[in-house]
Structure 1
């Protein structure tokens, strides 16, 4: 007999109001577990799966006490015992594995923090790994992400009904929507990310560049050159007339701005990303040809023009900020190897600039984050001009980046766990992992406060190279592919590790992110890390209906040009 259609899938609106119980969530039994009419996850998996994965996980009081005691020791202000992972795919898998690892090391119990997943019917159908890893999953409407992982109203509903203490947004989806932290804060639910005001100010490429100029961060010539106002002076909201001075609204304005800057120029939509809403132009004719394309790819987005820096590297600074005004930088990454503005190979620490220059980039990044009262993980992206030996601000991403494990590999800092501790109100200088990155400090629970700006950090003594594994056909214009995966085999070693959002027997569905894997190789030198990565990639086996870029990545890593 055909299985019943999931109740959440039948919901007509973008939230759960039409699902199961009429109130946005499956019916709840007397013991607190959900009893949805939808097909249970255990029926969709092989025999022996835990049928209570759909229910609110029962929690032993001893686990709650472990978390409470840690928060007391580290002088936090709120225990977080459960987290809703408002994401899917690789992001959700990485967060869950990181929190499980940290909880096991910290409490001796990998499930000390309850993790609640959101799952679309498509995720369930392909046996998505994040659903399997979760203590509980809540089925949400399928289709494009505006129905589920990018739907703020839905996420808040799920968080409230599941009774979680916090929400982790991941990357993509709703991770940069200020409405999410604002709505959660109104309900007393912690957000593992920045407050709404800082996110709104820095998540916009134009606004963040205006604030960066005010904070003294170098910028390339652009349509907003000379436009500056500090976060403090504007109260967190850049006046519209100031903002508009940095934008180009018409084709004629775009041509005029590009001519003033000097070709070549990049025309960008402020709300764009992932290669959308961005074009290189080298003449007035190019601007005429692409301006409407940019408008169409990111409808309604403000557009700006910025000088194209030739012979440059794409360098990043990883930031972590707490709720007490402290900011730490965890060194740099080089993400210059890209295709269509999508990162393919990431590595760290950056080697293209001098150590003095890298430290100055980190200092400017910290100053920018501090100036807006930032909290959580962030990445400041720069262009480094090889010819000029100068760096220029690109943008600040107010979330955790896909490539953050590169930083984890060179610092031994479990960044998602630090995000969790920050949300618990723990000061950075009390977190043992963070203290361990500074010279002369012991990683202990009863530390003394220290000046994080004046105290030198321990420089990385290794190099990490990362490769994104996507379900694209490199022989057919990198066209995304979807379908069943019969076999997925990867053998980690002490030098190479990785994360996958699916396993053999699963698949990539039509709404999945094309990236389903991420491999990391560590070595004493860059060359050693690359050699280890090449060996690992050649051993990866993916058999099924999808194509991958693995062979393409091997060819690229073995090219003398890299």
Structure 2
């Protein structure tokens, strides 16, 4: 699905060259639309991104600094110098980084460069959650009951919280992207939560102002895409449901919103258009509403004055290319449609594919994408990404690998299509949320849309994270691929990938022209595989998985592609089997079955950096923000000891037990690896 600008308009309303002030998937997506309009693109990049996909896609590229964003992608002057040096007429900021920075917009204008986004006054008005609420109230757009005042004292906030009634939500006034937000359920939690939000807000946005508002217990998150030109025309392109979130960050988005009727849609659309008009908006924007599921009443939450991560679902159901529209409008064109020209066609769903570990509190991960095989793309399956196989997911940037978007005539068909696409998305090298997203699709409360609310993941977490049973056939196929890969004579074009520690790599104890058996543990299951030979030539296998025996097993395995065809009795099964680079694990993908088995390896590799019983380790790579203790300090269980930043989020490391600090290994601003020992504790009687 998709649409765009007709060629007659392109000739008039197109920049010759633009600079994209962003990275990764965001930059690559903007560049593809620009190329379709015959607009040349300039990439900017940090030293860490010198070989990134967005740099390869661009017509030109300029290095603007070292890996940390503050020293590269947030350096306004360096970006402007790159634009002037390359002759770029306009700058597209993408989303994130400088996309909602009014000062940057003004600097672009001062240099005679078009900023592809709203006017700075609109950004300023909507950047402040408190100011934006006042503007919305004046425009008769409903807002959530709350306090948005300038008096930020603990006494005033405590009093206002009592008036509003718990639970409340504390939000950074300048916040966004899920940062600077805490739910507070009692006055006892208020002071600590307030300090945390202020600290996170100050480091992320340079402002520690907060607002508080009533927290709806069972809300939906529904947002409206709006678009405005410089001639006073404003439309909405319908709604998206973004209720499935974790840590206030979206995981699945869909359009249109399930259960939305035309009257409700018209009301919310009119409110979104009124919000945009109230600040003289120009370009693409998103008006976000929180909806009370008890009566479908809705309240203005915030306006994102930029393109949204989830904009592809809107493109899929409307046939519009929002980036091309941004370029047109920024160049002075009139919107090529009116509200009545727009219609919803079908249903679209987007899944964000992250490098993270759902089983470990969704901690973000880093590492090399050793094997990356996305599903085939088509008019109804889209993969927006900024990485390719061999790239690294770095500690310096967001851990999103890609956005997977599908379209179908209705929601049920779209869910089925997304499920198949997730099954075909194969990644080895680091943990991802793909199995977790798959489990959301399979959950009845999501499938029938009855459980859609922002608390969906916490509410159904036990179901979503429950391990899926592994069928004996999966163990058998993994063992078969291991045997075929280990013996070049058994697989077409295969070479051994397992190394000397593999049970397949030795002939010890084997007698020529006789069957030979090897054993290996796959997970907690012992598998025995016998190579049946005739005249010294391997013919087939017998594979025993627990109490189940598979006889006369044959197969073909291509080590290069990972494609396995296994014949077990009357059944022919297909799978993708991929070995990690170190040869210590085998990953099997077969439909929704997605498992990783450790293979035999030297014992010292199992002695990971677990630390001593009294040590506190970094749960992920990141940057130390605060060290709250020093050697000799007595601490109690759950006391905050270290605050670190990773993947743009703030994390507090707390004591696991009472004790005395015996050592502190790092200082503020230090970069630490995953599992690095941060603080060591001794029991008080160990002194």
**TM-score, normalization by structure 1:** 0.75
Taking the aligned partners of 2:71 and 2:259, their CA distance within structure 1 comes to: 42
In the TM superposition, 1:13-412 aligns within 5 A as 70=9, 80-100=15-35, 102-103=36-37, 112-124=38-50, 127-224=51-148, 246-299=149-202, 300-412=207-319
The structure with the largest alpha-carbon Rg is: 2
Give the superposition deviation at 1:72. Answer: 7.0
Give the superposition deviation at 1:280. Answer: 0.8
Q: Does the residue aligned with 2:398 lie in a helix, a strand or coil?
A: coil
Q: In 2 relative to 1, CA 194–538 (structure 1 residues): closer, same or farther, beyond 3 Å?
A: same
Whether 1:521 and 2:406 are equivalent positions in the alignment is yes
Kept in 1, the 8 Å contact 2:42–2:62? The answer is: yes
What does the per-residue CA deviation read over 1:363-420, in whole Å, with 9 as the maximum and x for residues that have no partner?
1111121122111110000011111221100000000000000100000100000000
What does the per-residue CA deviation read over 1:213-239, in whole Å, with 9 as the maximum and x for residues that have no partner?
111100111114xxxxxxxxxxxxxxx
Give the superposition deviation at 1:263. Answer: 1.4
Q: Residue 391 of structure 2 aligns with which residue?
A: 506
Kept in 2, the 8 Å contact 1:152–1:179? The answer is: no
Whether 1:484 and 2:368 are equivalent positions in the alignment is yes
Q: Does the residue aligned with 2:182 lie in a helix, a strand or coil?
A: strand
Kept in 2, the 8 Å contact 1:92–1:170? The answer is: yes
Kept in 1, the 8 Å contact 2:318–2:345? The answer is: no
Q: In 2 relative to 1, CA 270–542 (structure 1 residues): closer, same or farther, beyond 3 Å?
A: same
Q: Does the residue aligned with 2:360 lie in a helix, a strand or coil?
A: coil
Q: Residue 472 of structure 1 aligns with which residue?
A: 356
Q: Residue 451 of structure 2 aligns with which residue?
A: none
Q: Residue 495 of structure 1 aligns with which residue?
A: 380
Q: In 2 relative to 1, CA 248–498 (structure 1 residues): closer, same or farther, beyond 3 Å?
A: farther
More strand by percentage: 2
Kept in 1, the 8 Å contact 2:349–2:418? The answer is: yes
Q: In 2 relative to 1, CA 510–467 (structure 1 residues): closer, same or farther, beyond 3 Å?
A: same
Give structure 1 regions of 4+ aligned residues with deviation exceeding 3 angstroms. Answer: 66-73
Q: Residue 328 of structure 2 aligns with which residue?
A: 421
Kept in 2, the 8 Å contact 1:89–1:516? The answer is: no
Taking the aligned partners of 1:523 and 1:371, their CA distance within structure 2 comes to: 36
Give the superposition deviation at 1:310. Answer: 2.4
Give the superposition deviation at 1:205. Answer: 1.4
Q: Does the residue aligned with 2:340 lie in a helix, a strand or coil?
A: coil
Taking the aligned partners of 1:72 and 1:460, their CA distance within structure 2 comes to: 28
**TM-score, normalization by structure 2:** 0.62
Give the superposition deviation at 1:144. Answer: 1.6
Q: Residue 549 of structure 1 aligns with which residue?
A: 433
Q: Does the residue aligned with 1:194 lie in a helix, a strand or coil?
A: coil
More helix by percentage: 1
- Tell me the number of residue pairs that the alignment of Structure 1 and Structure 2 aligns: 437
CA RMSD for the aligned pairs? 1.8
Whether 1:536 and 2:421 are equivalent positions in the alignment is yes
Taking the aligned partners of 1:72 and 1:554, their CA distance within structure 2 comes to: 44
Give the superposition deviation at 1:253. Answer: 1.3
What does the per-residue CA deviation read over 1:77-118, in whole Å, with 9 as the maximum and x for residues that have no partner?
xx5110100000111111112223x32xxxxxxxx2110000
Taking the aligned partners of 1:401 and 1:119, their CA distance within structure 2 comes to: 21
Taking the aligned partners of 1:370 and 1:71, their CA distance within structure 2 comes to: 27
Taking the aligned partners of 2:249 and 2:412, their CA distance within structure 1 comes to: 23
Taking the aligned partners of 2:243 and 2:150, their CA distance within structure 1 comes to: 27
Taking the aligned partners of 1:458 and 1:397, their CA distance within structure 2 comes to: 22
Q: Residue 446 of structure 1 aligns with which residue?
A: none
Q: In 2 relative to 1, CA 69–520 (structure 1 residues): closer, same or farther, beyond 3 Å?
A: closer
What does the per-residue CA deviation read over 1:306-331, in whole Å, with 9 as the maximum and x for residues that have no partner?
11122211000001111111111100
Q: Residue 516 of structure 2 aligns with which residue?
A: none
What does the per-residue CA deviation read over 1:288-340, in whole Å, with 9 as the maximum and x for residues that have no partner?
23111111111232111111122211000001111111111100000000001
Q: In 2 relative to 1, CA 69–407 (structure 1 residues): closer, same or farther, beyond 3 Å?
A: closer
Kept in 1, the 8 Å contact 2:64–2:79? The answer is: no
Q: In 2 relative to 1, CA 67–117 (structure 1 residues): closer, same or farther, beyond 3 Å?
A: farther
Kept in 2, the 8 Å contact 1:71–1:424? The answer is: no
What does the per-residue CA deviation read over 1:414-447, in whole Å, with 9 as the maximum and x for residues that have no partner?
000000001110011xx2xxx3xxxxxxxxxxxx
Kept in 2, the 8 Å contact 1:204–1:271? The answer is: yes
Moved more, 131-140 or 356-365: 356-365
Q: Does the residue aligned with 1:173 lie in a helix, a strand or coil?
A: coil
Give the superposition deviation at 1:273. Answer: 2.5
Taking the aligned partners of 2:354 and 2:304, their CA distance within structure 1 comes to: 22
Give the superposition deviation at 1:498. Answer: 1.0
Taking the aligned partners of 1:121 and 1:93, their CA distance within structure 2 comes to: 17
Question: Which blocks of at least 5 consecutive residues in structure 1 are unaligned?
Answer: 1-65, 104-111, 225-245, 436-451
Give the superposition deviation at 1:458. Answer: 4.2
Q: Does the residue aligned with 2:323 lie in a helix, a strand or coil?
A: helix
Q: In 2 relative to 1, CA 136–72 (structure 1 residues): closer, same or farther, beyond 3 Å?
A: closer
Taking the aligned partners of 1:252 and 1:354, their CA distance within structure 2 comes to: 44
Kept in 2, the 8 Å contact 1:337–1:344? The answer is: yes
Question: Which blocks of at least 5 consecutive residues in structure 2 are unaligned?
Answer: 447-687
Give the superposition deviation at 1:68. Answer: 11
